[in-house]
Amino acid sequence: MIKNIFILGIVLFALTSCFKEDDPIAPHDKGPVKQEIIPMTQNYIYQVYFNLATGEQVSKNVKNDFDLTFACADTAFLIRLNTATFMKAAQTDFSDLTKVNDTTGLDWKFDKSDGNPDSTAFVNWMSIDGFDTIYSNKVYVINRGINELGFTLGLKKIVFHSLKNGIYFFTTANMDNSEMKDVFVRKKEGYNTVQYSFEEGGKSVETEPETDNWDLLFTQYTTLLFTNEGDPYPYIVTGVLTNPGTTVAFDSTMVFNDIKLDDIIYMDYSTATDKIGYDWKELFGDINGGDYYYKARSNYNYLIRSKSGIYYKLRFTGFYDSTTGEKGYPTFEYQRL
């Protein structure tokens, strides 16, 4: 009996020795609170891309360096306007580019700022019906909007013909049919979009960094506001858009310095690219009379979940250059949680 108990003890010891003790989990290093100033400058000339993980301003471009963006994902066919210049477009009833010579009776459309692909000016240029790809081949008139000084950039006509093997094919012209040009733009792997400019006779340009290299875009953009009577109207604002796939939650009740990961992980995160938007700053004074200033709403907390699943908290603390006093320098602090 004792011998059996002894043998059982040896077996139990051998079995238990096969199970590794739980490794202690190292405390998560949430990192320090960092501060950043984004130089959009006085007239909001620049678009600035920012990477939260590296703390870098990845790239900067003049906001009217391009006119159109073309989606690069394998199955994507979305074409957007550059809303930083207050662009709009209208579809006509014509398929012949030469038949459209004025803007009479056009129904102008703006791209919504929330990133919804169903709310774009060119939403009907292409559609999928079962296994069939259908191209409308309708002429669009594009109002290129305004530059940073408020000067108009003029009109263009365009017909989108097809998307084949990752290449967009289209034709552009001036309203008087001059400078008519057949164009193609090729998708680029690893990017959300590729860009096209009507300047210098038309050209492809590169303004947007690689998809995985940015989280926030500081820019002007067009959004829909409402009058006191509830009537909608488009307006150009200055704020922050997020990389598609980055999600954001909002809070104005917690103290920024006290916010922990446990406080925010189960919040309602939005996929809208304008969730941070523009109203983190408050306007005081008369903007039409020129006597006005902005103040950051430092009690507005933005909780950000990056495409890689990392959480951050962020709040804005200013909008002016501390040396010159010029507006157009969004200042914020943020921390990885």
pLDDT score recorded for residue 211: 97
Q: Please check whether residues 56 and 72 belong to one and the same domain.
A: no
Q: Please check whether residues 304 and 219 belong to one and the same domain.
A: yes
Give the domain-ending residue among 205, 221, 250: 205
pLDDT score recorded for residue 222: 96
Q: Is the dihedral of CA 32, 48, 195, 277 positive or negative?
A: positive
Q: Quick check: is 23 in a domain?
A: no
Q: Quick check: is 25 in a domain?
A: no
Q: Please check whether residues 332 and 217 belong to one and the same domain.
A: yes
pLDDT score recorded for residue 77: 96
Residue pair 180/159 in contact by the 8 Å Cβ criterion: no
pLDDT score recorded for residue 28: 56
Q: Please check whether residues 232 and 255 belong to one and the same domain.
A: yes
Q: Please check whether residues 256 and 309 belong to one and the same domain.
A: yes
Instruction: For the full predicted model, state whether its pTM sits above 0.85.
Output: yes
Q: Please check whether residues 185 and 226 belong to one and the same domain.
A: no
Residue 85 dihedral angles phi and psi, to the nearest 5°? -110, 15
Give the domain-ending residue among 205, 237, 254: 205
All residue ranges of the chain with pLDDT < 70 are: 1-29
Q: Rounded to an integer, what is the distance from CA 307 to the centroid of its chain?
A: 13
The boundaries of the domain holding residue 142 are 66-205
User: What integer best gives the mean pLDDT of the chain?
Assistant: 90
Other C-beta atoms lying within 10 Å of the C-beta of residue 20: 6
Give the domain-ending residue among 186, 205, 224: 205
Show the CA angle centred on residue 74, arms to residues 85 and 269, nearest 5°: 65
Q: Is the dihedral of CA 273, 216, 267, 299 positive or negative?
A: negative
Q: Quick check: is 28 in a domain?
A: no
pLDDT score recorded for residue 287: 77
